[in-house]
C-alpha cells in the first residue's frame, strides 16, 4: 500500500480508539497499535499458527530498518520472536515524518552485569522533538554568514510539559526537572521554563524544579541519582540522552520511545548508526531488545515482554557472553543466541 493509505489507516484507527497522548492504560484500545523504529502496528490483529501457540491473536508490526547497523540489530529481535513463538508478524515500512512524533522518552538505568562508575541510576529524559534548534530553519544571509533560527512555542512547550508530568504520574515518579538555558536565551528558553512552571501547578503531587543545561551535564556526571524525570527542548535532550547513555555503559544499552498523539515508536534511545560496525556482526543488540520488550508490553503481550527482558538481564548479569562495547568479545549473533537459550 502507498504511504498515504497507511496514514489514512493510522488516522482511522486512532479516531476509533480515542487515544490520549503518551502511553495508554493497559487494556485500552491504544494497546492494539503503535509505531516502532523497528516496529509499527498499523493493521488489525489476525489469527495465525505459530511455533508455540495456535489460534492466537497475531500482531502485525511493520519495521523501519534504519541505517548503519540498524538492519542487523533488527534481525536479532526478529530471530528471538520467531524462535520463541511470540505472536508478531513483521512487515517493512519506511515512513517516519508527518506523524507528529513530538515526545521522545529515553529510560536511563543501570543494568546488572554492566560495570560503571555509578550504581542505581534510574531516570527518564523527555525531549520535545518538533522545534528548538532542530526546526531546520537556517539560511546563508550573505556569503560566509549563516543564520539558524531556534523556534520555541508555548503550545509545544505546554504539550511536552504535560506529557512529562503525565508520564511521571503514570509511572510513579516523584519529580520533574526542566532543563533550560534561560539565563542566556531569556525569551526562547524563558518561555519554555515559564510554561513548565505553569503546568507544574496542575500536578501538586509531583515535585518540580529546574536546572541550567550546563550545570545539569555536570550534575549528571557527578550525582545522576538525583534525577527522576527530566523535560527539555530538542537540542538539550539530544545531548543529555547521550550523556545518560554513557553513564550506564553506552548507546547499545538504552531503549527509547517516541510518541505522537496516537502513535508510539519503540527504538534505541540514542541516534548512533555505529556505521563502523556495519557488516561486522559486533553491535550490541541490548537496546533494541529492550525496546522490543517494551513494545510487547504495549500491545498486551506483557508476559512475552517480561520473559524477553528477564532473559536478557540474565545474560548480562552472567557476563559470559558480551559484545565488545561492554568489555566482551562475543558477536551480535552469539549474544542473541544466549538470550534465546535463557528464554
What are 180-193's pLDDT values in tens digits? 999 999 999 999 99
pLDDT at 226: 98
Q: Are 156 and 132 in contact (CB under 8 A)?
A: no
Residue 96 has pLDDT above 90, yes or no: no
Three-state DSSP class for residue 21: coil
Q: Which long-range contacts (CB under 8 A, 24 or more apart) does 118-124 make?
A: 118/224, 118/225, 118/247, 120/225, 121/224, 121/225, 121/244, 121/247, 121/248, 122/225, 123/224, 123/227, 123/228, 123/229, 123/230, 123/244, 124/167, 124/171, 124/173, 124/228, 124/229, 124/230
End-to-end CA distance of the chain: 36
Report the distance separating Cα 293 and Cα 314, nearest Å: 15
Please, which pLDDT band fits residue 137 given cuts at 50, 70 and 90?
Answer: confident
At residue 33, the pLDDT reads: 36
Lowest mean pLDDT among 52-56, 89-93, 140-144, 238-242: 52-56
Q: What domains lie within the chain, and their CATH numbers?
A: 3-98+273-342 (no CATH), 117-248 (3.40.718.10)
> Which residues lie below 8 Å from residue 92, measured CB to CB, with a gap of 6+?
62, 63, 64, 65
For the segment 200-210, what is each residue's pLDDT rounded down to a tens digit?
999 999 999 99
| Residue 216: pLDDT over 50 | yes
pLDDT tens-digit readout, 274-322: 566 667 788 899 999 999 999 999 999 999 999 999 999 999 999 999 9
For residues 176 and 20, what is the distance between their CA atoms, to the nearest angstrom?
20
pLDDT of residue 150: 94
Share of the chain above pLDDT 90, in %: 58
Q: What is the pLDDT of residue 70?
A: 65
Which residues have C-beta within 8 Å of that of residue 20, sequence separation ≥ 6?
A: 30, 261
Mean pLDDT of 117-146: 91
Q: What is the CA radius of gyration of the chain?
A: 20
Range of lowest pLDDT (119-128, 229-238, 248-257, 276-285): 276-285
Specify the pLDDT at position 5.
Answer: 43
Chain-wide mean pLDDT for the chain? Answer: 81
What was the pLDDT predicted at 286?
Answer: 94
Range with lowest mean pLDDT among 37-46, 71-80, 122-131, 324-333 = 37-46
* pLDDT higher than 70, residue 263: yes
Say which DSSP state 230 is in: E
Q: Give the pLDDT of residue 65.
A: 63
pLDDT at 2 over 60: no
CA distances from 95 to 37, 103, 152, 280 (A): 10, 17, 26, 27
Answer yes or no: is pLDDT of 125 > 50.
yes
- pLDDT confidence of 57, banded at 50, 70, 90? low
Amino acid at each position: 500500500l502507498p504511504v498515504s493509505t497507511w496514514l489514512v489507516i493510522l488516522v482511522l484507527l486512532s479516531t476509533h480508539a480515542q487515544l490520549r497522548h503518551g502511553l495508554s492504560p493497559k487494556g485500552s484500545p491504544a494497546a492494539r497499535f503503535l509505531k516502532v523504529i523497528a516496529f509499527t502496528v498499523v493493521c488489525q490483529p489476525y489469527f495465525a499458527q505459530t511455533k508455540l501457540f495456535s489460534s492466537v491473536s497475531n500482531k502485525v508490526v511493520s519495521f523501519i530498518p534504519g541505517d548503519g547497523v540498524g538492519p542487523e540489530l533488527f534481525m536479532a529481535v526478529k530471530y528471538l520472536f520467531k524462535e520463541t513463538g511470540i505472536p508478531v508478524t513483521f512487515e517493512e515500512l519506511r515512513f517516519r515524518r508527518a506523524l507528529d512524533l513530538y515526545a521522545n522518552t529515553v529510560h536511563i538505568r543501570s543494568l546488572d552485569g554492566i560495570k560503571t562508575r555509578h550504581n542505581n541510576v534510574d531516570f527518564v529524559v523527555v525531549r520535545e522533538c518538533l522545534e528548538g534548534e532542530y526546526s531546520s530553519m537556517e539560511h546563508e544571509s550573505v556569503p560566509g554568514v549563516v543564520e539558524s533560527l531556534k523556534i520555541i512555542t508555548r503550545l509545544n512547550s505546554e504539550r511536552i510539559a504535560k506529557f512529562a508530568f503525565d508520564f511521571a504520574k503514570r509511572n510513579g515518579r516523584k519529580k520533574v526537572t526542566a532543563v533550560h538555558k534561560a539565563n542566556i536565551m531569556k525569551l526562547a528558553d524563558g518561555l519554555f521554563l515559564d510554561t513548565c512552571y505553569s503546568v507544574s501547578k496542575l500536578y501538586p503531587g509531583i515535585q518540580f524544579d529546574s536546572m541550567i543545561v550546563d550545570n545539569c551535564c555536570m550534575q549528571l556526571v557527578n550525582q545522576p541519582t538525583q534525577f527522576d524525570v527530566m523535560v527539555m527542548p530538542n537540542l538539550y535532550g539530544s545531548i543529555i540522552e547521550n550523556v545518560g547513555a554513557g553513564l550506564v555503559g553506552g548507546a547499545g544499552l538504552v531503549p527509547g520511545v517516541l510518541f505522537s498523539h496516537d502513535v508510539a515508536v519503540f527504538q534505541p534511545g540514542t541516534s548512533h548508526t555505529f556505521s563502523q560496525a556495519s557488516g561486522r556482526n559486533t553491535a550490541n543488540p541490548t537496546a533494541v531488545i529492550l525496546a522490543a520488550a517494551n513494545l510487547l508490553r504495549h500491545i498486551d503481550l506483557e508476559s512475552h515482554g517480561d520473559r524477553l527482558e528477564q532473559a536478557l538481564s540474565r545474560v548480562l548479569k552472567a557476563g559470559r557472553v558480551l559484545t565488545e562495547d561492554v568489555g566482551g568479545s562475543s558477536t551480535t549473533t552469539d549474544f542473541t543466541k544466549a538470550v534465546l537459550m535463557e528464554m
